[in-house]
Structure 1
């Protein structure tokens, strides 16, 4: 058995924070707004979890999307707070379901219906090009796939992009289309140079 060392916190005043890139702008590397699952593990939920319980869990954890996995931790889809809205529950109950019997698998977006961005493409891009490519996307999250390993490598959140660019938008209701409107088109009057993906 090894002996552990303990130190008094009496004279400690600082906290360690994640390393951040200062002055992120539209021309910064797209990787600066990427959540890499190699360093920040994915937020997952099993497909057989009750949907109504997941709503409370996600609110408690302050997350808006989870990766859905099966019992063997294999990726099968995604679920967001939009997929768990009260309107969705009302429609399902109107279709004859009991609220308490709805599972994540019933409300998730299956992987067969999703498109993911190539990690290599993201790595060679800037934020403006990323937003331009997502200018019609009404979702808040974009999965990123590592084509070499055929695995979900991470994701990009429109909220993270908006925060990093310090945009004046309500991140509770943001999506890539709104972020594009505010970040790229909002600056179009300030700059005539617009790079396209």
Structure 2
């Protein structure tokens, strides 16, 4: 510990009040988009191998206090959310494949990279939260990845639920079916096809 220097401290005798939530930056649709990005330069993402089981993934996500996880085995494969892993789709997939729920892996339920979209980090720097929400709605996705085109790397993630929490509003993103199979899944789950 010798290489670290002690920080300067001050007495609290002159400090009479506590910062209240209205003193904290107010978020609205015109606020900079970068404020709602989980930037992997500053927040290490939870990554799990595609063969991790559903229950193990849910437990790992709860321990890490996250609602989505990157699926990777050296190379990025997709994302999976707690909502995906706790949905009726899990039991439906287990039944149709003749497996037990506990035998399913997150690769069976993830949103594959091919179905995801990304927004370049330089676009985020000049965008607003409202533009991000409109993009999520147009894409029919709850999550959008932020990419670094110069290095061809995933830089961060944007979550509609994080935006809703920051803005203190309800955000409805309707999944868009891109195939007949997805359309059947969407209809059977009761979701709106957008």
Cα distance per residue 1:92-140 (max 9 Å; x no partner): 2212112222112222121122111222211111112222222345433
The more displaced of 147-156 and 94-103 is 94-103
The Cα of 1:57 is off from its aligned counterpart by 2.7
> Does residue 28 in structure 1 map to residue 31 in structure 2?
yes
The Cα of 1:35 is off from its aligned counterpart by 1.0
The Cα of 1:58 is off from its aligned counterpart by 2.1
2-structure distance, mates of 1:90, 1:30: 37
The alpha-carbon distance between structure 1 residues 67 and 21, as it changes in their structure 2 partners (threshold 3 A), is farther
The alpha-carbon distance between structure 1 residues 42 and 175, as it changes in their structure 2 partners (threshold 3 A), is farther
> Does residue 53 in structure 1 map to residue 31 in structure 2?
no
> Would you identify which runs of 4 or more consecutive aligned residues in structure 1 move more than 4 Å?
1-6, 174-177
Look up the match of 1:100: 102
> What stretches of structure 2 of length at least 5 have no aligned partner?
13-22, 175-194
Work out whether residues 47 and 69 of structure 1, in 8 Å CA contact, stay in contact via their aligned partners in 2. Answer: yes
Look up the match of 1:76: 77
- The CA RMSD over aligned residues, in Å, is 2.9
1:83 partner SS: helix
1-structure distance, mates of 2:93, 2:25: 46
The Cα of 1:2 is off from its aligned counterpart by 5.0
The alpha-carbon distance between structure 1 residues 69 and 21, as it changes in their structure 2 partners (threshold 3 A), is farther
The Cα of 1:3 is off from its aligned counterpart by 8.5
1-structure distance, mates of 2:24, 2:47: 27
| Aligned positions, number | 161
1-structure distance, mates of 2:3, 2:163: 44
2-structure distance, mates of 1:40, 1:140: 19
> Does residue 132 in structure 1 map to residue 112 in structure 2?
no
Structure 2 counterparts to residues 1-197 of structure 1, below 5 A:
22-70=25-73, 72=74, 74-95=75-96, 96-167=98-169, 169=170, 175-176=172-173
2-structure distance, mates of 1:32, 1:105: 30
The Cα of 1:66 is off from its aligned counterpart by 0.2
